[in-house]
């Protein structure tokens, strides 16, 4: 395992798993950007998401299932688990154990994370909470 992969993995677990956002803030480069399905975000947005996750899910922990590096790219397959004890995504606490998984692809240089692309499906999380949303149904003629 390279030093950068080890540093990213350790910061990832400390930030997302333990809520120590400073661990992640220390290894991102100025101008860091996170690409998600809902748009691009900076470090401030990421910190808010981590804090929101820890406020909503007591005993939240994160596990890195797989991590690989190829030159200046790192791929992390992760899974988070916690008990839903606070409001999240507009959903009041359910008391249920929630599990969500995803993948993050990280571009780095000179020991810093430049950008990240993250893929996860919020429907998996809502499904763990036993929340089902069918959307708007239309009548067929």
Check: CB of residue 75 under 8 Å from CB of residue 105: yes
Q: What percent of the chain has pLDDT over 70?
A: 85
Burial class (CB in 10 A: 0-12, 13-18, 19+), 38: exposed
**Interval 54-78 mean pLDDT:** 94
Check: CB of residue 70 under 8 Å from CB of residue 64: no
The reported pLDDT for the residue numbered 132 is 62
Check: CB of residue 16 under 8 Å from CB of residue 50: yes
Q: Which helix (H) or strand (E) holds 100?
A: strand 97-109
Q: What average pLDDT is seen over the chain?
A: 88
Express each pLDDT in 20-41 by its tens digit.
Answer: 999 999 999 999 999 998 899 9
For each of the domains in the chain, give its residue range(s) and CATH number, in order of start.
3-128 (3.10.450.50)
**Interval 67-90 mean pLDDT:** 93
The reported pLDDT for the residue numbered 121 is 75
């Amino acid at each position: 395992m390279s030093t950068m992969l080890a540093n990213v993995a350790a910061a990832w677990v400390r930030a997302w798993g333990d809520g120590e956002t400073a661990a992640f803030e220390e290894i991102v480069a100025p101008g860091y950007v996170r690409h998600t399905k809902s748009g691009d975000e900076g470090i401030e947005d990421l910190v808010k998401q981590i804090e929101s996750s820890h406020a909503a899910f007591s005993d939240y922990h994160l596990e890195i299932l797989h991590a690989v590096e190829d030159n200046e790219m790192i791929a992390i397959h992760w899974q988070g688990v916690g008990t839903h004890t606070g409001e999240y995504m507009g959903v009041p606490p359910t008391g249920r154990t929630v599990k969500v998984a995803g993948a993050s692809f990280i571009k780095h240089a000179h020991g810093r994370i430049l950008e990240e692309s993250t893929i996860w499906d919020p429907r998996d999380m809502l499904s763990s909470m036993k929340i089902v949303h069918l959307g708007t149904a239309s009548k067929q003629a």
